[in-house]
Amino acid sequence: MAGTDQTRKMIAEGPAIVLVEPQLGENIGMVARAMANFGLVDLRLVNPRDGWPSEKARAAASRADHVIDAVTVFDDLPSAIADLHVVMATTARQRDMAKAVLTPKEAVARLRDTHDAGRRGGIVFGRERWGLENDEVALANTIVTFPVNPAFASLNIAQAVLLMSYEWMNAAVGQLKPFEQSDAPAASRADLQHLYDHLEGALDEANYFHPPDRRERMVITLRNIFADAGLSEPQIKTLRGVVAALERRWLRKKK
3-state secondary structure of 125: strand
d(CA 21, CA 47): 5
Q: Give residues with Cβ within 8 angstroms of 1, minimum separation 6.
A: 174
Among 59, 70, 97, 245, binds a copy of itself (CB under 8 A): 97
**Of 20, 21, 31, 33, the one binding a copy of itself by CB under 8 A:** 33
The only residue of 145, 164, 171, 199 in contact with a copy of itself, by rule CB under 8 A:
145
The C-alpha atoms of residue 55 and residue 68 are separated, in whole angstroms, by 10
Of the candidates 56, 85, 95, 215, which one interacts with a copy of itself according to CB under 8 A? 95
Q: Is residue 152 involved in binding a copy of itself (CB under 8 A)? A: yes
d(CA 91, CA 170): 22
Stretch that binds a copy of itself, among 20-28, 97-105, 109-117, 193-201 (CB under 8 A): 97-105
What is d(CA 79, CA 24) in angstroms, rounded to the nearest whole number? 22
CA–CA dist 131, 157 (Å, integer): 9
Closest approach, Cβ 98 to a copy of itself, in A, equals 6
Angle at 38 between CA 59 and CA 182, to 5 degrees: 110
Q: Which of 72, 134, 156, 193 binds a copy of itself (CB under 8 A)?
A: 156
Q: Contact positions toward a copy of itself, by CB under 8 A?
A: 11, 33-34, 36-39, 62-64, 92-101, 103-106, 143, 145-150, 152-156, 158-159, 162-163, 166, 169-170, 173-182, 184, 232, 234-235
